[in-house]
Amino acid sequence: MSIEQFICKLPKCEQHVHLEGTLTPSLRYSCALRNKVLIPGISSLDQLESGRYPSNYDYEEGQDGSDYLREFLANYYAAMDVLITEQDFFDLATEYFEKARSMNVKYAEIFFDPQAHTSRGISFDVVMNGLIKARDVEHKRSDGVRVQYILCFLRDISAESAAETLQLGLKYKDQIIAVGLDSDERGHPPQKFEQVFIDARKAGFRITAHCDVDQEDTHNNIDYVATKLGGPRSDAPDMAKSYVDGDIIPAYPAGADRIDHGLNAADLPELLTTIKNANLGLTLCPMGYSKHLGPERVFSKLDTLWKAGIPITLNSDDPAYMCRWKQQVVVDVQKHTGWTLHEIAQVERNAISMAWTDLEFKTKFR
Ligand code: HPA
Ligand code: ZN
């Protein structure tokens, strides 16, 4: 069996994928047609598919090497204009599930960005109804992907807006496993959302946050997320019960339950120690960074994290834009790292250990 075949057969998890980042040109085009929304400068699907965007993540780098994130985000938000009805959100989620199933992804925790829709006048309920119905259909399939949703706050808008969004999310508490933090990190450190995350944890949500690569104050942001975000872990004993022996059990009295990206932790031995002591896992998207920062830098940091024994998972982030879905990410990472089949399988075991789901499912997965 080739390595590709092994990776394809391996049951996989995905824990860092933005639902809106799975919007393919074809779905974008069909939503535009049925909703009568113009895509500026586009009059055919061919034109959209062959254009620089959205199927090409070849964005420019700024002086600090990180402007690709802002350029990407501008395109990412603009593309969402076509998502208007419950059916659109249903189709968006369903397309991702189909793709995930075809790659043997058995479990996915999926971010969505409600403020990117409510700010356009789309109601929170429309978004949630589409997502929930799609998941209900998926969960009825014997080969269906087990799905959980993570509500992300957009860090480049106000903490008040995040607090209002949390209130809207409470109505769907049973349908949303966690809250996260994404979008443009520059000038928007996690401290800005201190109270929102404390409230979210009190309401029973798991806590995670993006610490994107090479951003302003990246090391401070990682430290804050690892040790303070979300405030006291009042539920730590209960959480521990839902983990299997040898799994990741949070050890710090405060801080997030996970970090999204966090690659720059590799720069500082003290941050590695902090993350280890907090027993946090990192959801990495190495092929996304590799494009902009160069494979040498990315894979040497990844090696540092791996050797430090920090649980990492491999993810696609915004696969419709980055041209790589989960299967291809794992294949490409294996080529860069030379990891053995055993090591690749270990990464997927890390992922299921970090999953916010029940023990019975985790045990079956292994
Ligand atoms: N970083 C920050 N925000 C995002 C991303 C990302 O990679 N994708 C979608 N929102
Ligand atoms: Zn992301």
pLDDT score recorded for residue 243: 46
Identify the CATH number of the domain in which residue 267 sits. Answer: 3.20.20.140
Ligand 1: residue whose CA is nearest its atom 3: 183
Range of the domain at 305: 3-365
Task: Verify whether ligand 1 is closer than 6 Å to residue 182 (CB atom).
Answer: yes
pLDDT score recorded for residue 232: 84
Task: Verify whether ligand 1 is closer than 6 Å to residue 317 (CB atom).
Answer: yes
Confirm if 175 and 205 have CB atoms less than 8 A apart.
no
* Single-letter amino acid code for the residue at 114: P
Q: Which ligand is nearest to the CA of 212?
A: 1
Confirm if 132 and 171 have CB atoms less than 8 A apart.
no
pLDDT score recorded for residue 65: 53
pLDDT score recorded for residue 57: 54
Q: For the chain, which ranges sit under pLDDT 50?
A: 63, 237-245
Confirm if 13 and 355 have CB atoms less than 8 A apart.
yes
Interacting residues of 26 by C-beta distance below 8 A, sequence separation 6+: 45, 49
Task: Verify whether ligand 1 is closer than 6 Å to residue 210 (CB atom).
Answer: yes
Q: Which of 213, 279, 232 is nearest to 65 (CA)?
A: 213
pLDDT score recorded for residue 58: 58
pTM, full prediction: 0.94
Q: How far is the CA of 342 from the centre of ligand 1 (A)?
A: 30
Q: What is the pLDDT of residues 6-47, one digit of tens each?
A: 999 999 999 999 999 999 999 999 999 999 999 999 999 999
pLDDT score recorded for residue 68: 77
Q: Give residues whose Cβ lies within 5 Å of ion ligand 2.
A: 317
Give the whole-angstrom CA distance, residue 29 versus residue 51: 13
Q: Which atom of ligand 1 is nearest to the CA of 20?
A: 9
pLDDT score recorded for residue 287: 93
Report how many domains make up the chain. 1
CA angle in degrees (0–180, nearest 5) for 319-129-257: 55
Question: Which of 68, 182, 221 should be mutated for ligand 1, with most atoms under 8 A from CB?
Answer: 182
Q: Which ligand is nearest to the CA of 289?
A: 1
Residue with tokens 């834009």: 321
pLDDT score recorded for residue 53: 57
Task: Verify whether ligand 1 is closer than 6 Å to residue 185 (CB atom).
Answer: no
Strand, helix or coil at 24?
coil
What DSSP element (H or E) covers 326? helix 326-337
Q: Where are the beta strands (DSSP E) in 59-215?
A: 105-112, 146-154, 176-182, 206-207, 210-211
Q: Distance from first CA to last CA of the chain, Å, rounded?
A: 21
What DSSP element (H or E) covers 15? strand 12-18
How far is residue 211 from each of residues 77, 112, 162, 223, 290, measured CA to CA in Å?
20, 17, 18, 10, 16
Q: Which of 152, 151, 165, 185 is nearest to 67 (CA)?
A: 185
Cβ atoms < 10 Å from Cβ of 319? 27
Ligand 1: residue whose CA is nearest its atom 5: 183
